[in-house]
Amino acid sequence: LAKTTQPISMDSYEGQEVNITCSHNNIATNDYITWYQQFPSQGPRFIIQGYKTKVTNEVASLFIPADRKSSTLSLPRVSLSDTAVYYCLVGGDNQGGKLIFGQGTELSVKP
């Protein structure tokens, strides 16, 4: 099972770039890495997904080194509305791979 480890919490200020790293030393060959965002009283919401190297979309970038044992979610120029819990998800394949959510990183953005 690809267990994941993330920082419990992070603080930042508006306009800064925030990088959240997730460790997944036992990631399997077929595993993808997905990040979700969760606001209070809501279900998690997809942010970005990748397999290797770098992926970028309109809200974030995901950096994955060659060994794939970790990944870093990068949020450019955060705002107060980015205050949320961010989860790293690793796993899943057609053989019924286990899906493991990390414990989540509580990001607090201050003015």
Partner 1 sequence: DAGVIQSPRHEVTEMGQEVTLRCKPISGHDYLFWYRQTMMRGLELLIYFNNNVPIDDSGMPEDRFSAKMPNASFSTLKIQPSEPRDSAVYFCASGSGTSGPSTDTQYFGPGTRLTVL
Binding mask 27-56 for partner 1 (x = CB under 8 A): ---xxx-x-x----xxxxxx--x-------
Out of 64, 91, 105, 107, point to the residue binding partner 1 (CB under 8 A): 91
In the window 53-82, what residues touch partner 1 (CB under 8 A)? Answer: none
Q: Which residues pair with 110 in a beta bridge?
A: 13
94 binds partner 1 (CB under 8 A): yes
* Cα–Cα distance list, 51 to 7, 35, 90 (Å): 21, 12, 10
From the list 3, 16, 72, 101, which residue makes contact with partner 1 (rule: CB under 8 A)?
101
d(CA 44, CA 50): 18
Angle at 65 between CA 102 and CA 10, to 5 degrees: 40
C-alpha angle 107-109-111 in degrees, rounded to nearest 5: 170
CB of 46 to partner 1, least distance (A): 4
> Among 89, 105, 107, 109, which residue sits at the site for partner 1 (rule: CB under 8 A)?
89
> How far apart (Å, rounded) are the C-alpha atoms in residues 69 and 42?
30
Q: Which residues form the interface with partner 1 (CB under 8 A)? A: 30-32, 34, 36, 41-46, 49, 87, 89-94, 96-101, 103-104
